A and B are shown apart, each in its own frame.
Chain A
Amino acid sequence: MPRETEQKQLWRAKDGLQIVNMKLFSPFDLLILAVVILSAFFPFFIENLSEKSDNFVIFTEDEKIEISIESDTILFINSVEIRIKNGAAKIVESNCPNQICVLQKPLSDNGQIVCVPNKIIVSRSFKSDKKQPKVDVYAH
């Protein structure tokens, strides 16, 4: 270590500051990497709680709306415009500040479109209630 740096360190130690040398890598980092990669596959190990529906399921704050995939509709919920066309759902317009939901790509198969400020979720899979028999809302 050069003498100058040594002096600085001494000075810092005198001031009651910790002498900090960061390690960039350590062999233990591989352990962390393994944990992170395992956590990526974690959802595939546990029992799949969600079920795939034949319809688009739209959750709002207090209700659940199902719309058939083949339909060609535009929905307005709390100034959020949801468009379903050619088997794909998309949030076209929203009043939320960050516009993350609008920027998400159209949903046709897996995944979810979420608008957090408006509490709206558009998806095709939902949490199944195993106690209750399934009710087809669309058929009512």
Chain B
Amino acid sequence: MHTEKNTQYTEKTILLILAFLLAGIERFIPVFPLLPWLKIGLLHSITLIWITRFGILDALAFIFVRQWVTAAFFGFSLMPFVLGTAGSISSVILGGILIKSQRFGIIGVAIFSALVHNITQLFVLFLMMNGNFVWQWQLPIMAIVSIFTGAITGFLAFEINKISFDFSLQKTENSKTFETHKKTNYLAIFALIFVIILTIIFESYYFYFAVFIGILIFSKIVKCEIPSPVKFMKRYGIFIFALYFSSLFSQKVEFSNINFWIFPLMQVAKISIWFLLTPFFQSSGFFTVFYKLLLKIFPKKCSETFAVGAIMPQIFPQILEELPQIIKVVFKNPKAAVKILVEKSQNILRDWES
């Protein structure tokens, strides 16, 4: 019964869950005052593991999957999306070649791919800004920064790789492919794309309030279950509070000003809307359509990565409910926390499939 397909399926699911959690954690680190554009890129440790286990092509598929699903959970904004995708593609290809050569340590590879990631972003910016962008000022800072961020992600990848060694021991019996997964509703998908574009253009309380009412009404019509307030806070409460406090410290409004306390609420409203929209993404088959398109570019053996991406929006909220337990353990014993996370997600996978 233990086929190759099932093992990879479980392993990929758990790695993807870890990637989302790391992406979530990173979003709630306050901005470093001198270098506001700086991001550590914690989730790229998972990308490195993905390359070593499943190859470069599959890692490219992983990038598209995680870009879309993180965007669906934590909000979509155009510039980081474009820059992030461009940077990740080039760094996966070049870093993957280094990994395949098997001469370099993981920290070295991580530092190199961080540099490639940054240089690609600079290049894309240079093209966007009609060549007025002076990259000479940015490159030295970016190179020095990538040594530190690369070392962090490389070390994380090494540690996670050690723990995740036990993944394949407990397996799920059947794996569903996303083709048979659910019927797609094209009208709903167009509506969702419309809402996404609107959230990029408009940023005001009135608009968020309108979307909120829209979601409430629409969920009754389509019979798509949205979580009750209690369940919503149980799942996303940690994220919402963390986001509020991190955005308190990453703004330049004076402490005594009322806006200091009010402005972060905008971010909270935005992310709550995204959290509320996720059931719609799931039930309309939004990702399924997207992954079917991608499968025309990628070879058939990558289809499993997309299948994992398609079930993710349903599994991830359930994982979030278990977060408080995991957080209790994290500070005492981080490795044990990851192990708990792995077990929980395996249980949820099994429940979901039966």
Binding site for B on A (CB under 8 A): 5, 8, 11-12, 14-18, 20, 22-26, 28-29, 31-33, 35-37, 39-43, 48-50, 59, 61, 95, 97-100, 102-105, 110-112, 114, 116-117, 119, 121, 123, 125-127
Contacts and interface: CB of A to CB of B under 8 A. Distances in A.
Nearest to A40: B143
Nearest to B102: A23
Given A36-B112, A114-B133, A43 B104 contact: no
B134 A116 contact: no
Main secondary structure of the interface of B (DSSP, over half): helix
Given A22-B106, A37-B147, A100-B37, 16 more contacts: A17-B53, A24-B105, A25-B108, A26-B104, A28-B108, A29-B111, A32-B111, A36-B143, A39-B115, A43-B137, A43-B140, A48-B136, A114-B133, A116-B129, A121-B129, A127-B131
Most buried by B among A5, A17, A35, A126: A17
Given A20-B52, A28-B103, A127-B134, A116 B139 contact: no
B297 interface: no
B252 interface: yes
B204 to A, nearest CB: 11
B129 A119 contact: yes
Interface string B1-29: 01110011001000000000000000000
Nearest to A39: B143
Contacts of B144: 40
Interface of B: 2-4, 7-8, 11, 31, 33-34, 36-37, 49, 52-53, 77-80, 98, 103-109, 111-112, 115, 119, 125, 128-140, 143-144, 146-147, 154-155, 157-158, 161, 165-166, 168-169, 200, 203, 250-252
Contact of A32 (B78, B104, B168, B200): B104
Contacts of A112: 133-134, 137-138
A15 B168 contact: yes
A29 B31 CA distance: 30
Contacts of B168: 8, 11-12, 15, 17
A116 B125 contact: yes
A24 B106 contact: yes
B203 A40 contact: no
Nearest to A92: B252
A126 B53 contact: no
Contacts of A48: 136
Contacts of A18: 52-53
Given A18-B52, A97-B203, A8 B31 contact: no
Given A33-B108, A116-B79, A121-B133, A22 B161 contact: yes
B106 A23 contact: yes
20 contacts: A11-B168, A15-B7, A17-B4, A17-B7, A18-B52, A22-B106, A23-B105, A26-B103, A28-B105, A29-B107, A36-B112, A50-B134, A61-B130, A103-B251, A103-B252, A112-B133, A112-B134, A114-B129, A116-B125, A121-B129
A119 B128 contact: yes
A135 to B, nearest CB: 17
A114 B36 CA distance: 11
Contacts of A49: 136
A61 B129 CA distance: 7
A22 B157 contact: yes
A121 B132 contact: yes
A6 B52 CA distance: 19
B53 A15 contact: no
Nearest to A124: B134
Contacts of A16: 4
A84 to B, nearest CB: 17
Nearest to B8: A17
Given A48-B136, A123-B134, A33 B252 contact: no
Given A15-B4, A37-B143, A39-B139, A104 B36 contact: yes
Contacts of A100: 36-37
A126 B111 contact: no
Nearest to B112: A32
